[in-house]
Structure 1
């Protein structure tokens, strides 16, 4: 999913090397979309590995040392075990909120309070406590 915002947004498409921030749910996804992040941009990735069908079928092996390779590129790399933190918060589906919590700590595009408020107004009331914990765990990771 792309999110573009600013004073002049002529297209929803983000060109290679133009993204300020990339949040990734897993390592291979981070590597796949890394070319879109500008030099000096921010890459926040979950350390989880999710095997694509080509790996599950045995056609290829999951690439080794992805995080080491990501650390060698000119972006600011932040890694965390978002899945474990989401589980600790009470629901593994809260990985996205853990990543947003980490984003709140690492990025100055929004204040942590603004991002926390966005969680409060979008998450169903019955899941709010879990998601607030997930945000906090990501922020403190």
Structure 2
């Protein structure tokens, strides 16, 4: 059975790095894994998405509308933007964090209110303040790894040796911080 994970966010949030760590862990665990990423205007704070599909035999890296088992959104509005890709019985993990896009900053549109409530009315939603927890453990840049931890727990991937994945793919001086971040994320779900 193929499982599909959709990670979405805004450029600079570490969405792609989280998906690469996830993909590496899944491959080392013996799964057939396909990943695709869309950067949009990521360098300028635009939408970023990464699709990770894994199982015994994965034919395509692309998640169709209504095909994601889990949607992990690094920014609230992105969860709404990508919600149609979630299966009817899928889960949303949403970082309770707001990044204002250029249209919002320029005053052309307003940031929508009640996003988490709207999501909760439609699908099983787990809201986390990953940014706050990242700051508490010492570095807001590990928000992405905290969100990776939520995926690991929600998708029951705890048996994979995530410590090895972190040690092999993160600069040595950031290993302990990232290991703590994964643990924090797993405890949020």
Using structure 2 for the length normalisation, give the TM-score: 0.68
Indicate how the Cα distance of structure 1 residues 79 and 50 shifts in structure 2: closer, same or farther if over 3 A, else same: same
Q: Secondary structure at the match of 2:53?
A: coil
CA displacement, residues 58-82 of structure 1 (integer Å, 9 cap, x when unaligned): 0000001000000011x32111100
| Counterpart Cα distance in 2 of 1:116 and 1:103 | 15
Q: Structure 2 stretches of 5 or more lacking a match?
A: 1-49
- Which digits, 9 at most, give the CA deviation of each residue in 1:53-105, with x for residues without a partner? 110110000001000000011x3211110001111122111111111122233
- 2:166 paired residue among 119, 129, 137: 119
Aligned to 1:96: 144
In structure 1, stretches of 5+ residues that fail to align are none
Once residues 183 and 89 of structure 2 are traced to their aligned partners in structure 1, the CA distance between those partners, rounded to angstroms, is: 26
**Higher relative strand content:** 2
Aligned residue pairs total 139
**How much is the aligned-residue C-alpha RMSD, in angstroms?**
1.6
- Secondary structure at 2:54 match in 1: coil
Change in CA separation of 1:100 and 1:57 when aligned onto 2, cut-off 3 Å: same
From 15, 36, 59, give the equivalent of 2:64.
Answer: 15
**Scaled by the length of structure 1, what TM-score is found?**
0.89
List 4+ stretches of structure 1 deviating above 4 A: none
Partner secondary structure for residue 4 of structure 1: strand
The verdict on how the C-alpha distance between 1:118 and 1:76 changes in structure 2, with shifts beyond 3 A counting, is farther
SS of equivalent residue, structure 1 residue 132: helix
Taking a change above 3 Å as real, the CA distance of residues 77 and 112 of structure 1, as seen in their structure-2 partners, is farther
Which of 58, 63, 81 is matched with 2:107 structurally? Answer: 58
Residue of structure 1 equivalent to 2:51: 2
The aligned counterpart of 1:140 is 187
Pair 121,21 (structure 1): closer, same or farther in 2 beyond 3 Å:
farther
